[in-house]
A = this chain, B = another copy of it.
Amino acid sequence: MTQPTHSEHSMPSEHSMRSERSMRSIHAEHFMQSCIDACNDCHQVCLQTAMNHCLNTGGKHVEPEHFRLMMSCAEICQTSANFQLSNSSFSHRLCAVCAEVCEACAVDCRKIGGMDECVEACKKCAESCRQMAGAQH
């Protein structure tokens, strides 16, 4: 069964016996799983923060531009993860837009303050999606 695992796995420490090609394939799979994990984490943190912390706190946290950005970030991260899980040939294109949304969300959350976990998840996801977007397909 060739089904890729979804758990985190460490890179093999010994690989002298493996061909360059299979190493590249293993690397690509590991790379994509990292991006799926980052997208999934960012989706969860943004949705949870918006629908709990932001709604409960009010004020700047529910200003339309900020709240929409949080929800857009949550949704595109979910879709990016789903494209990668489905091995869609458009994963790289979607990751490029996802990186932009995450970057904007990180900046906005830092500006408003009190959402450090969100800032970190967005920055990490933006970085991972940028790498995925730039990878050869």
Contact = CB atoms under 8 A, between A and B. Distances in A.
Contact of A79 (B49, B58, B79, B114): B79
A79 B74 CA distance: 11
A53 interface: yes
Copies of chain A in the complex = 4
A66 to B, nearest CB: 9
Given A3-B48, A53-B2, A94 B76 contact: yes
B82 A90 contact: no
Interface of A: 1-6, 36, 40-41, 44-45, 47-49, 51-53, 55-56, 58, 62-65, 67-69, 71-72, 75-76, 78-79, 81-83, 85-90, 93-94, 96-97, 100-101, 104, 114-115, 117
